[in-house]
A and B are shown apart, each in its own frame.
Chain A
Amino acid sequence: MVSLHPDTGFLTEYSSGSLSPAQNISVSAHLHFCRECRDHVDCLDEIGGVLLEQIAPAPLGPDSFEQVLLKLEDTAPASIVATEPDVASDELIQLPKLVRRLLPGDTQWRRLSPSLAIARIPVGECRFELALHKIRPGGRAPTHDHKGLEITVVLQGSFSDDDGVYREGDFIVREPGDVHTPIATQNEMCICLSACEAPVRMVGPIKRLLNPFIRFKPV
């Protein structure tokens, strides 16, 4: 059961198409798990529909419809599934389809500590960087704080920190300055999607050395 949801602000921005790509993908990953929020977004979309109906129409050029008819002849019906590359290895097969699609064919896991590995997901934006975080069963991720907003969506397994336990589908927002040490649940690998606004900084004497690794540049 999903217990942590994006707030109405996030869902409104999702519905209106105003989130950055990494945030948008994070909300979508949550919706994959969450019936309630999917319904909620459907309701919010209706606002867009009503506004569309009420706007002053802007007339199109005289040939506009004919141009479109010509293009209808050209285009075969949409085939969205056909292009989906199956890049997911066995351990990732349960992830939401969108996340699997986004992973580059040669997903590179970078080990940041004995328990934590990270694979970046290129989304082509500067503000947020998107990555998969994999914590081995019972593993403890390095304590880190946040320079900016961090959104985490649990995709598989569960983890806990000082504040509680997070399960599949949970959407966790960390504000700048929050310090935490995530620990994966004993019996299962935990995989999370993480959208970070600014580089995450590790704290503690030795972990500080790892900082350059995590302060990767956005694509």
Chain B
Amino acid sequence: MLAERSPDDWNDLLVKVGLDRDREAFSRLFAHFAPLIKGFLMKGNAIGPEQAEELAQETMIKVWRKAESFNRRKSAASTWIYTIARNCRIDWIRREARNRVDIDAQDIYELGEDNPSYSSLVRVRNKENILDNIGELPPEQLEVVTKIYFEGKSHSEVADELMLPLGTVKSRIRLALKRMQLKLVNEAQV
């Protein structure tokens, strides 16, 4: 039956959507990513299944509309789609908070066309490092990382929730990043 797809396949499909408006490619991306996005958004318990489904659809529509701007040198397809889902979540939170100021997350995160200064090789290695090591993180570090990424909680919100000092949360993040061997440009910051 279906062979497992490699990340490169997802990149190719996304490029096809961007260049040729290829609906077949889009339907495959949808079948794979939409359920992941829905699962991702429901993780924090703040977003119910119906909302999550709507937001997953909204995310995929943006994927379709913005596919042209996908740059495989800068990010993997899954990462690029993650950033769109994250932005949809931010906008949803803003709407829920009845914030009437019209600032889309996309406006905040869009920094214009540019290529990273590192090569795509470095990017791929970074990603492999994350993949190899994320499963090895001690539970307390993984917990903090997932709370921040899945639930969109700030360090201080996580600290409140887990009843930990803020410094402990921050140092768990730092240790997790170190263990995932992210080759950060400015090592001094870690």
Contact = CB atoms under 8 A, between A and B. Distances in A.
Interface of A: 5, 7-9, 11-13, 16-21, 24-25, 28, 31-32, 35-40, 42-61, 64-65, 67-69, 71-72, 75, 77-78, 80, 97-98, 101-102, 122-125, 219
| 6 nearest A-B residue pairs (beta carbon) | A49-B79, A57-B35, A124-B101, A124-B99, A48-B82, A58-B39
Interface in B74-97: 74-76, 78-83, 85-87, 89-90, 94, 97
Contacts of A47: 130, 134, 145, 149, 180, 182
8 contacts: A8-B190, A18-B157, A42-B123, A47-B134, A51-B149, A68-B61, A124-B99, A124-B100
Interface residues of B, number: 87
B60 to A, nearest CB: 6
Interface in B1-44: 7, 23, 27, 30-31, 33-40, 42-43
- Counting chain B CB atoms within 10 Å of each CB, which of A57, A65, A125 scores highest? A57
B122 to A, nearest CB: 9
A205 B160 CA distance: 39
Interface centre among B39, B43, B87 (most CB of A within 10 A): B39
B134 A36 contact: no
Interface of B: 7, 23, 27, 30-31, 33-40, 42-43, 49, 52-53, 56-57, 60-62, 64-66, 68, 74-76, 78-83, 85-87, 89-90, 94, 97, 99-101, 103, 105-112, 114, 116-118, 123, 126-127, 130-131, 134, 145-146, 148-150, 152-155, 157, 170, 173-174, 177, 180, 182-186, 189-190
A49 B99 CA distance: 28
A12 B173 contact: yes
Nearest to B109: A28
B184 A52 contact: no
A151 to B, nearest CB: 14
B130 A38 contact: no
Contact of B75 (A31, A49, A80, A122): A49
Contacts of B150: 51, 55
Contacts of A61: 53
Contacts, number: 205
Query: Which secondary structure dominates where chain A touches chain B?
Result: helix
Contact of B189 (A32, A40, A67, A124): A40
A52 B78 contact: yes
Given A12-B173, A53-B78, A46 B108 contact: no
A35 B112 CA distance: 12
A13 B155 contact: yes
- Most chain B beta carbons < 10 A, residue from A11, A21, A59: A21
Contacts of A52: 33, 36-37, 40, 78-79, 81-82, 85
A61 B54 CA distance: 10
Q: With a 10 A CB-CB cut-off, give which of A12, A28, A58, A75 has the most chain B CB atoms.
A: A58
Contact of A17 (B86, B112, B184): B86
Contacts of B57: 60, 64, 67-68, 71
- In this complex, which of B38, B146, B149, B177 has the most chain A Cβ atoms within 10 angstroms of its Cβ? B149
